[in-house]
């Protein structure tokens, strides 16, 4: 690469980005949304205090592009800039994924539940994209990881068979929708049966539930609601029961309200992360997180949403794996940085809390990184360059492969870095 291309000095391998925002109706209103605050700081634009701000996208997906800045002005999309300067990705990433970022980085501000959804594996993604390109816009899989910035709630994966039996004994509205025969099928299946014997039973029951007619669902949800409102007077409701009443307020007469009884209710503390593989059912419920995923926008939805539902595809694609999901708490790399490593090649996330006046070094890695500053300010240097970049909250920076980045904080500084999973480079 030459030193100068299109007015940008490419020996300086740090590029400031302007990022895209999504105002989905489940987002938090601007006045309390991290996404709104960070987007406003990142773009220099005002936000509407009452409008929902749901997602800040940092990456190369066409439906929410990031732009490279030159002298404060948008110059090109990050995707176009990378395709002009592919060596910023490093040889291994270029060989493996071509001239594009393999990951998409986001901030989410969740005000109300997102749809019950799953993301297809690569094979299914290719099939869906071929059959329904308007709905499934690419042929890639979309494993993801959510790292909580605040207290964060989600539904994720199926509860155990033992827990499901308890649901069928205590929640008559579920039995009403799945039918007595299906309920008995679950109750008569031994807990000692292996996962392969149990899966078809769970699939049959869940598919029956999700396929229930609108009128039946409305009656069952209303019955559930009035029963719980009566029972609250004589006993404290369980966490799951309180949750379904909340979901019913957000999405009245929705099958997702009842489906919540089938899924694990996960509560994350700040700094804890949830990993979501392909074909696993999940729904984010509330809170704010940074999220990373493979570069894709494929979602199959089946409940808690005004958007298109593809119940048949969802129910046929799920793994029906049971049990509580693994929570990652990060591995300390140094006093200030913890790394979260999912079992996916495309990405990892580093979380850094840097006290005032301290310095931390992110060693050069053979792939690209994106840095997001969420709190504080400081100076960022690359390699041995004496020229520093002042960075402050809302800044998003792209770092080319093989670039050492050091940061010194003027005030306590919080940042997140995402890059290709380090294991990809260790295998080479």
CA distances from 374 to 195, 261, 274, 395, 418 (A): 43, 35, 20, 8, 14
Phi and psi (nearest 5°) for 118? Answer: -150, 160
Residue 128 in tokens = 């869906």
Q: DSSP of 175-237, one letter per residue?
A: HHHH-HHHHHHHHHS-TTS-HHHHHHHHHHHHHHHHT--HHHHHHHHHHHHHHHHHHTTTSPP
Fill in the DSSP letter of residue 56. Answer: E
Q: Is 246 a catalytic residue?
A: no
> How many CB atoms neighbour CB 22 within 10 A?
17
* Cβ within 8 Å of residue 302, ≥6 positions away: 115, 116, 117, 210, 255, 256, 259, 309, 310, 311, 314, 315
Determine which one of 37, 301, 351, 417 is catalytic. Answer: 301
Q: How far apart are CA 42 and CA 373, in angstroms?
A: 10
Active centre residues (catalytic): 301
């Amino acid at each position: 690469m030459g030193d100068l291309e299109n007015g940008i000095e490419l020996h300086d391998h740090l590029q400031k980005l302007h990022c895209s925002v999504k105002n989905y109706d489940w987002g938090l209103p601007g006045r309390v949304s991290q996404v709104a605050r960070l987007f406003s700081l990142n773009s220099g634009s005002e936000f509407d205090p009452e409008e929902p701000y749901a997602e800040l996208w940092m990456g190369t997906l066409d439906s929410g592009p990031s732009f490279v800045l030159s002298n404060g002005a948008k110059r090109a999309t990050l995707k176009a800039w990378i395709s002009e300067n592919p060596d910023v990705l490093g040889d291994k990433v270029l060989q493996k994924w071509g001239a594009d970022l393999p990951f998409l980085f986001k901030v989410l501000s969740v005000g109300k539940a997102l749809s019950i959804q799953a993301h297809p594996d690569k094979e299914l993604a290719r099939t869906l994209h071929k059959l329904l390109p308007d709905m499934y816009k690419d042929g890639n899989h979309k494993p993801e990881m959510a790292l909580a910035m605040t207290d964060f709630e989600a539904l994720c994966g199926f509860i155990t068979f033992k827990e499901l039996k308890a649901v069928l004994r205590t929640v008559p509205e579920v039995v009403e929708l799945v039918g007595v025969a299906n309920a008995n099928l679950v109750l008569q299946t031994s807990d000692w049966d292996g996962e392969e014997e149990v899966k078809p039973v769970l699939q049959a029951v869940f598919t029956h539930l999700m396929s229930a007619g609108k009128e039946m669902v409305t009656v069952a949800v209303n019955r559930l609601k009035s029963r719980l409102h009566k029972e609250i007077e004589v006993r404290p409701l369980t966490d799951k029961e309180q949750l379904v009443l909340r979901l019913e307020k957000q999405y009245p007469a929705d099958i997702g309200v009842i489906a919540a009884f089938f899924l694990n209710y996960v509560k994350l503390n700040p700094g804890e992360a949830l990993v979501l593989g392909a074909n696993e059912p999940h729904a984010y419920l509330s809170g704010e997180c940074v999220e990373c995923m493979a570069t894709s926008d494929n979602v199959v939805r089946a409940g808690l949403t005004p958007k298109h539902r593809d119940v048949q595809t969802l129910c046929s694609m799920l793994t029906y794996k049971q049990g509580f999901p693994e929570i990652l708490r990060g591995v300390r790399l140094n006093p200030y940085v913890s790394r979260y490593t999912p079992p996916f090649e495309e990405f990892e996330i580093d979380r850094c809390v840097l006290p005032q006046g301290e310095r931390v070094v992110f060693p050069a890695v053979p792939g690209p990184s994106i840095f997001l500053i969420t709190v504080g300010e400081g100076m960022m240097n690359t390699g041995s360059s004496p020229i520093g970049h002042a960075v402050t909250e809302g800044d998003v920076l792209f770092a080319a492969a093989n670039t050492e980045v050091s940061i010194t904080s003027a005030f306590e500084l919080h940042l997140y870095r995402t890059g290709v999973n380090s294991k990809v480079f260790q295998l080479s």
